[in-house]
Amino acid sequence: MLTMVPRVRPAVALAAAMALTTALIPGGAVSATASAGGCRVDYAISSQWQGGFGAAVTVTNLGSPVNGWQVAWTFAGDERITQLWNGSAAQTGARVSVTNAPWNGSVATGGTVSFGFNATSGTASTVPAAFTLNGVVCTGSVTEPPPGGGALVDNNFPVSREAAYGDNRYTVFRPANPQAVGAPMPVLVFGNGACAHTNNSEVTRALTFIASKGVVVVDTGSVDGSPNGVPSGSPIPSLLTGAITWAEREQNRSGAPLSQRLDLTKVAAAGHSCGGLEALVAAQDSRVSAVVSLDSGFFADGSFGYSRAELARLHSPVLFMAGGPSDVANDNTRANYDLVTVPAVLAVHPQAGHVGFITGSQMTEGMTTVVQFLDMVLNGNRAARSYVLDPSGLASRYPWTVSKKNF
Closest CA to 235 of 267, 283, 276: 276
Average pLDDT score, the chain: 87
DSSP string, 78-116: S-EEEEEESEEEEEETTEEEEEE-TTS-EE-TT-EEEEE
Q: Check residue 29 and give its pLDDT.
A: 29
Among 22-26, 130-134, 179-183, 327-331, which is the least confidently predicted range?
Answer: 22-26
Q: Could you tell me the residue range of the domain that residue 63 belongs to? A: 4-138
Closest CA to 36 of 287, 376, 311: 376
Whether residue 40 sits in one domain with residue 96: yes
**Percent over 70 (pLDDT), the chain:** 88
Q: Check residue 5 and give its pLDDT.
A: 31
Tally of domains in the chain: 2
388 part of a folded domain: yes
Beta-sheet strand order (sheet of 95-100): 87-92, 95-100, 70-74, 131-133, 136-138
Q: Check residue 82 and give its pLDDT.
A: 96
State pTM to two decimals.
0.69
CATH of the domain at 165: 3.40.50.1820
Boundary residue ending a domain (138, 164, 182) = 138
**How far is residue 352's CA from residue 4's CA, in Å, rounded to a whole number?**
47
Boundary residue ending a domain (112, 138, 164) = 138
**What are residue 247's phi and psi, to 5 degrees?**
-60, -35
Is residue 34 very low, low, confident or very high in pLDDT (cuts 50, 70, 90)? very low
Is residue 271 very low, low, confident or very high in pLDDT (cuts 50, 70, 90)? very high
Widest pairwise Cα distance in the chain = 64
Cβ-based neighbours of 180, under 8 Å, separated by 6 or more: 157
Whether residue 350 sits in one domain with residue 281: yes
34 part of a folded domain: yes
156 part of a folded domain: yes
User: Does residue 35 carry a pLDDT above 60?
Assistant: no
CATH of the domain at 19: 2.60.40.290
**How far is residue 348's CA from residue 319's CA, in Å, rounded to a whole number?**
11
Task: Centre a 10 Å sphere on the Cβ of residue 68 and count the other Cβ atoms it contains.
Answer: 10
143 part of a folded domain: no
User: Does residue 48 carry a pLDDT above 50?
Assistant: yes
Closest CA to 294 of 317, 319, 311: 319
186 part of a folded domain: yes
Mean pLDDT of 27-32: 28
401-405 vs 344-348, strand pairing mode: antiparallel
To the nearest 5 percent, what fractions of the chain are helix, strand and coil? 25, 30, 45
Whether residue 35 sits in one domain with residue 132: yes
Whether residue 319 sits in one domain with residue 220: yes
144 part of a folded domain: no
Cβ-based neighbours of 379, under 8 Å, separated by 6 or more: 30, 31, 32, 36, 145, 146, 152, 186, 266
Q: Bigger pLDDT: 351 or 141?
A: 351
Q: Check residue 191 and give its pLDDT.
A: 98
Is residue 93 very low, low, confident or very high in pLDDT (cuts 50, 70, 90)? confident
393 part of a folded domain: yes
Is residue 141 very low, low, confident or very high in pLDDT (cuts 50, 70, 90)? low
Whether residue 157 sits in one domain with residue 114: no
Whether residue 344 sits in one domain with residue 205: yes
Whether residue 120 sits in one domain with residue 187: no
Q: Check residue 38 and give its pLDDT.
A: 78
Q: What is the DSSP letter of 8?
A: -
Is residue 37 very low, low, confident or very high in pLDDT (cuts 50, 70, 90)? low
252 part of a folded domain: yes
Whether residue 333 sits in one domain with residue 197: yes
Whether residue 240 sits in one domain with residue 92: no
Q: Check residue 14 and give its pLDDT.
A: 29
The enclosing H or E element of 339 equals: helix 330-339
Whether residue 198 sits in one domain with residue 284: yes
336 three-class SS: helix
Whether residue 247 sits in one domain with residue 394: yes
| Contact present, 196 and 188 (Cβ < 8 Å) | no
Q: Check residue 56 and give its pLDDT.
A: 96
Q: Check residue 340 and give its pLDDT.
A: 95
Ranges of beta strands (E only) in 285-334 are 290-294, 318-322
Whether residue 85 sits in one domain with residue 62: yes
Mean pLDDT of 87-95: 88
Boundary residue ending a domain (85, 106, 138) = 138
